[in-house]
C-alpha cells in the first residue's frame, strides 16, 4: 500500500530524495511545498520522472495549504535547519507522520516545542533522518556491538574519529557556519547516531569545541561550528571518545570513510576496527574477519533508500518503531549535551538534560 506524502523543499538534496521516493513506490508524493513556488514549479517540471513532472500543478507555499488539497498521511521535510522545527510542528498538528532531515532543531527551545506537540500526537511517527547509519558497514558494526552475530561481548570502551576539509563558502553564508553548535548538530551527528543506535545514550559527557577560523572555507568565530571532541561515559562507567573536524588542513581519508567515521571499539570478547567500509574483527590475539562492505553511496541514495524503507515498515507494521524514533531523537539530545558541556565547560548529565527536554 502506497502512502500519500507531502514533500517539503525543492532544493538539490531534496529533489534527489523526491526522485528516490517516486522510484521506490512505498510513498506516493502527492504535493510539493516550497516558499519559492515559481522556482519549485520549474524544478519539478524539469524532472525526467513523470510522477514528479505531474506534481507541477500541486506545488504550494505551505504544508497547511498542501494538506487542505491532498489527503496526505506523511510529510517529508528537507529545507534549511532553522526552518525545520516550525515545519515539523505544522506537519504534526495536521496529523501526519513526519520525517525531517537532520537537524530537526537548532536549540533547546525548538526541540522542546517539537516534543510538546509530538507528545500530544503519540501515534504519529517522528523521525530525524540520519542516513549514515544504514549502509551495510554501519549495520555490521551495530550488529557486532550488539553481539548479534559473533560480536565483541560487553563493550569496554572505544573511540571514533572523523575529519576532513569541507568548503562551505557561500553568499549568503550557509547556516552550518552561522548557527552556534552546528558542528555537533549537523556533522558529528552522522557518526554518533551510529553509536546511539547501537548502544543507546551514554550517561555523561565532557566536551570541547575547536575555536578554528578559516576564511578560505568560510568558518568564522561562531561557537561550535568547526570541530569538537568529547568523552562519554555509559552508566556502567564504560568510556567512549569522539574527535572530529570539518575544517582540517588536509584529508587523508576519502569522502566515505571520513563521514562514516574511523572507529576502534574494545569488548570483553573482541575488538573492532573500522574505517569506512572496512571492518576488521579481532579475537584471541588474531584477526578473525576482515570485511570490505558497502559504505556511503554516491549522494547517499542507497543509505536513504534503506532509511525510507525502515520508516515505511515502522508506520505500516510497527517494525522497530520505538527504537527508530527514540534513537533518532536521542541523537539530538546527545549533540545538545556536547554543545552544553563545551559551552559551560563542565561535565553534563545526559540523563538530566533528556528529562528536561522531554518533560517540559
Ligand X SMILES: NC(=O)c1ccc[n+]([C@@H]2O[C@H](COP(=O)([O-])OP(=O)(O)OC[C@H]3O[C@@H](n4cnc5c(N)ncnc54)[C@H](O)[C@@H]3O)[C@@H](O)[C@H]2O)c1
48 versus 123: smaller Cβ distance to ligand X: 48
Compute the least distance from the CB of residue 242 to ligand X, in Å. 18
Calculate the alpha carbon distances from 26 to 13, 258, 294, 320, 357 in Å: 20, 31, 23, 17, 33
Q: Which residue is closest to ligand X by CB?
A: 11
Which residues 289-308 are close enough to bind ligand X by CB under 6 A? 300
Query: Which of the residues 153 through 182 are near ligand X (CB under 6 A)?
Result: none
Residue 81 found at the interface with ligand X (CB under 6 A) = yes
110 binds ligand X (CB under 6 A): no
79: contact with ligand X by CB under 6 A:
yes
Q: Which is nearer to ligand X, 13 or 292 (CB)?
A: 13
Query: For residues 26 and 79, which CB has a smaller minimum distance to ligand X in the complex?
Result: 79
Q: Which is nearer to ligand X, 36 or 220 (CB)?
A: 36
Choosing from 85, 98, 131, 262, the residue that interacts with ligand X (CB under 6 A) is 131
Q: Which of residues 20-39 bind ligand X (CB under 6 A)?
A: 33-36
Q: CB 131 → ligand X: shortest distance, Å? A: 5
Which of 71, 88, 67, 70 shows the shortest CA–CA distance to 79?
88
12 contributes a contact to ligand X by CB under 6 A: yes
User: Looking at 3, 4, 56, 83, which residue binds ligand X (CB under 6 A)?
Assistant: 83
* Residues facing residue 273 across a β-bridge: 264, 280
Sites for ligand X among residues 36-75 (CB under 6 A): 36
Q: Does 220 bind ligand X (CB under 6 A)?
A: no
Q: Which cell goes with 256?
A: 566515505
Q: How many residues bind ligand X (CB under 6 A)?
A: 21
Residues of the shown chain interacting with ligand X in the complex, contacts defined by CB under 6 A: 8-14, 33-36, 78-81, 83, 87, 101-102, 131, 300
Amino acid at each position: 500500500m502506497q502512502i500519500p506524502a507531502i514533500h517539503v523543499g525543492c532544493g538539490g538534496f531534496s529533489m534527489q530524495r523526491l526522485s528516490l521516493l517516486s522510484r521506490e513506490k512505498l510513498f506516493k508524493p502527492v504535493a510539493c511545498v516550497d516558499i519559492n513556488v515559481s522556482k519549485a514549479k520549474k524544478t519539478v517540471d524539469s524532472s525526467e520522472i513523470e510522477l514528479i513532472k505531474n506534481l507541477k500543478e500541486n506545488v504550494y507555499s505551505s504544508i497547511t495549504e498542501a494538506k487542505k488539497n491532498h489527503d496526505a498521511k506523511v510529510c517529508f521535510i528537507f529545507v534549511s535547519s532553522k526552518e525545520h522545527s516550525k515545519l515539523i510542528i505544522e506537519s504534526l498538528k495536521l496529523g501526519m507522520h513526519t520525517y525531517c532531515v537532520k537537524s530537526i532543531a537548532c536549540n533547546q527551545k525548538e526541540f522542546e516545542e517539537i516534543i510538546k506537540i509530538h507528545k500530544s500526537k503519540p501515534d504519529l511517527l517522528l523521525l530525524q533522518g540520519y542516513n549514515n547509519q544504514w549502509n551495510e558497514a554501519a549495520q555490521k558494526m551495530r550488529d557486532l556491538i550488539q553481539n548479534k552475530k559473533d560480536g565483541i561481548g560487553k563493550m569496554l570502551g572505544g573511540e571514533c574519529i572523523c575529519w576532513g576539509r569541507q568548503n562551505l563558502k557561500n553568499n549568503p553564508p550557509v547556516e552550518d557556519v552561522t548557527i552556534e553548535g552546528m558542528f555537533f548538530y549537523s556533522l558529528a551527528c552522522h557518526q554518533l547516531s551510529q553509536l546511539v543506535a547501537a548502544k543507546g545514550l551514554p550517561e555523561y559527557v565532557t566536551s570541547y569545541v575547536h575555536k578554528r577560523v578559516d576564511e578560505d572555507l568560510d568558518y568564522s568565530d561562531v561557537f561550535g561550528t568547526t570541530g569538537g571532541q568529547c568523552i562519554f561515559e555509559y552508566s556502567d562507567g564504560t568510556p567512549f571518545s569522539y574527535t572530529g573536524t570539518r575544517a582540517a588542513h588536509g584529508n587523508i581519508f576519502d569522502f566515505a570513510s571520513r563521514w562514516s567515521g574511523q572507529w576502534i571499539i574494545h569488548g570483553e570478547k573482541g575488538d573492532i576496527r573500522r574505517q569506512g567500509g572496512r571492518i576488521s574483527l579481532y579475537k584471541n590475539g588474531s584477526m578473525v574477519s576482515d570485511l570490505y562492505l558497502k559504505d556511503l553511496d554516491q549522494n547517499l541514495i542507497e543509505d536513504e533508500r534503506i532509511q525510507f524503507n525502515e520508516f515505511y515498515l515502522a508506520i505500516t507494521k510497527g517494525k522497530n518503531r520505538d527504537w527508530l524514533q527514540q534513537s533518532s531523537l536521542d541523537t539530538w539530545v546527545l549533540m545538545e549535551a556536547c554543545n552544553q558541556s563545551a559551552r559551560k565547560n563542565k561535565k553534563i548529565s545526559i540523563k538530566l538534560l533528556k528529562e528536561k527536554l522531554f518533560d517540559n
